[in-house]
Chain A
Amino acid sequence: MRIGILGIQGDFDLHRKKLEEAGVEYRIVKKAEELEGIDGIIFPGGESTTITKILKRYELDKTLREKISGGFPVFATCAGIIMLASKFEGREEEVNSLGVLDVKIHRNAYGRQRESFEVPLKVTLGSDEVEITGVFIRAPKIVEVGKDVEVLGTFEGSPVLIRQGRILAMTFHPELSEGIEIYKFFENLVKERVSNV
């Protein structure tokens, strides 16, 4: 089993370190052909406008959309969730998202960098309740979720960690705090899929 990390832009190297810590094989993915032979993918934090533009210019968007619609596992943080979302509040014209995750996103909902924050969170991973530090950087807010979306963690009443099938998405940055529980949970989603196919 090998997990890809989208390496177009952003803090993908921090996700790489987490996968190393979890003992998972990985590959940095920048081009469509590098998607071959990987069993799931991480969409890192970064600037969603930058990443989606390059995805389109290098025609990764089509391949990714098809794969993810077919059940390919995705782990998405912050910019990553914006890249997956199907609906936006406000400045939606700027993001060319893949539209595979049934949520409505409000970008930079908490304000500017001045308002970025960290806060202890409780999230549900399978049968475990886990305490983690949620680091929110110019974070988006999930303002609506579709019927197939399961909410695994909230902050001030809004979902911050969600799951839709094999998509695990969050508005905070687990790669910026201690612990690999969320990565382990995702590893299991990928393993499940690998053994099913």
Chain B
Amino acid sequence: MNAILTGTFKVKVGLAEMLKGGVIMDVTSADQAKIAEQAGAVAVMALERVPADIRKEGGVARMADPQKIIEIMEAVSIPVMAKVRIGHFVEAQILEALGVDFIDESEVLTPADEEYHINKHQFKVPFVCGARDLGEALRRITEGAAMLRTKGEAGTGNVVEAVRHMRKIQSEIKRLTTLGEEELVAESKKLGAPYELVKYVHDNGKLPVPNFAAGGIATPADAALMMQLGAESVFVGSGIFKSEDPEKRARAIVEAVTFYNDPEVLARVSKGLGEPMRGIDVTKLSSDELLQTRGW
């Protein structure tokens, strides 16, 4: 009898690899999920409310109703992701029981634990987590994350924070590769991340899991910008279904990610998409309105 292994790190990262070069779209209903799939999304994120509405309406933001997640899973054949609160491992157990394909332990929802993130090794379903810098990214991988994404500032339609986080992580990776081996232990202490992962990044010049962009992406140009900065895929949250013509915009962003290095395609797909989501100037947000500072 062959030894069949499920839920291994290779199998988890495997799905993250398959999602590269694609767009993962936030959806709040089965109808939206179908529109996303038709547009060419590689996966959908099943949500109760998109980040822009969470921001507006306030209150505690939690995992979506399982009924809604099931409806979305039944509506499409592409992978379905869903969010849990930081540290809320029971919400994660519920999503795993539902058969969700990827779990986002997300700062967009209200954190349930202010000290500990979920021990993601205990799950067969892979996790994605947000990060603003290399130390945070490596801590999440230590806990078992199979994919990372920038945090950006979700629900703002403003890409500036995602750019900041992607640039920060990339430049910290580059810097690590220039260090001598003898500097790595001290660096590991400084980053607050285990030596083995610091050594991996030093040797390979990249993270051991795919790194995607998220938080504030609203246009095809935003998506291509993140890809050119080194993102391997793009999450679009409020940017699609809070715009004037979601179907058209969704298709355009999908094509912009495939042809992110081709300005002629980008020019063509960016034409006549109607109003994008309005957006918020991030500098006008007070510190307690920022979502990116959740998690550590």
Within 8 A of A (CB), among B236-263: 254-255, 257-259, 262
B45 touches A (CB below 8 Å): no
Which DSSP category, helix, strand, loop or mixed, fits chain B's interface?
Answer: loop
Within 8 A of A (CB), among B84-101: 96, 99-101
Cβ B22 vs Cβ A47 within 8 A: yes
Cβ A114 vs Cβ B124 within 8 A: yes
Please indicate the chain B residues that have their CB under 8 angstroms from the CB of A46 in the complex. 18-22, 42
Interface size class of A (residues with CB under 8 A): 35 or more
Cβ B5 vs Cβ A117 within 8 A: yes
With A49-B37, A108-B77, A119-B5 as given contacts, are A30 and B258 in contact (CB-CB < 8 Å)? yes
Cβ A113 vs Cβ B10 within 8 A: no
Please indicate the chain A residues that have their CB under 8 angstroms from the CB of B293 in the complex. none
Cross-chain contact of B22 among A14, A50, A94, A138 (Cβ < 8 A):
A50
A120 touches B (CB below 8 Å): yes
A179 touches B (CB below 8 Å): no
Within 8 A of A (CB), among B1-51: 2-8, 10-11, 14-15, 17-22, 37-38, 40-43
Within 8 A of B (CB), among A73-129: 78-79, 91, 94, 107-108, 111-121
Please indicate the chain B residues that have their CB under 8 angstroms from the CB of A116 in the complex. 6, 11, 14-15
> In angstroms, how far is the closest chain A Cβ from the Cβ of B123?
9
Please indicate the chain B residues that have their CB under 8 angstroms from the CB of A173 in the complex. 14
A78 to B125, CA, bound (A): 20
Cβ A113 vs Cβ B42 within 8 A: no
Cβ B19 vs Cβ A47 within 8 A: yes
With A46-B20, A113-B125, A119-B2 as given contacts, are A9 and B11 in contact (CB-CB < 8 Å)? no
Q: How many residues on B have C-beta within 8 angstroms of the other chain's C-beta atoms?
A: 40
With A14-B17, A137-B11 as given contacts, are A117 and B40 in contact (CB-CB < 8 Å)? no
Within 8 A of B (CB), among A1-43: 7-14, 30
B212 touches A (CB below 8 Å): no
A57 touches B (CB below 8 Å): yes
Cβ B21 vs Cβ A9 within 8 A: yes
B235 touches A (CB below 8 Å): no
Please indicate the chain B residues that have their CB under 8 angstroms from the CB of A9 in the complex. 20-22, 42, 257-258
> In angstroms, how far is the closest chain A Cβ from the Cβ of B273?
16
Cβ B10 vs Cβ A176 within 8 A: yes
Cβ A114 vs Cβ B125 within 8 A: yes
Please indicate the chain B residues that have their CB under 8 angstroms from the CB of A11 in the complex. 17-18, 20
With A50-B22, A54-B255, A135-B11 as given contacts, are A115 and B17 in contact (CB-CB < 8 Å)? no
A-B contact pairs, 13 of them (CB 8 A): A9-B22, A10-B17, A10-B18, A46-B22, A47-B18, A47-B22, A49-B78, A57-B255, A78-B18, A112-B100, A115-B6, A119-B5, A120-B3
Q: Which 4 A-B pairs have the closest CB atoms?
A: A113-B101, A11-B17, A47-B42, A9-B21
Residues of B within 8 A of A (CB): 2-8, 10-11, 14-15, 17-22, 37-38, 40-43, 77-79, 96, 99-102, 124-126, 254-255, 257-259, 262
Residues of A within 8 A of B (CB): 7-14, 30, 45-47, 49-50, 53-54, 57, 78-79, 91, 94, 107-108, 111-121, 135, 137-138, 155, 173, 176-177
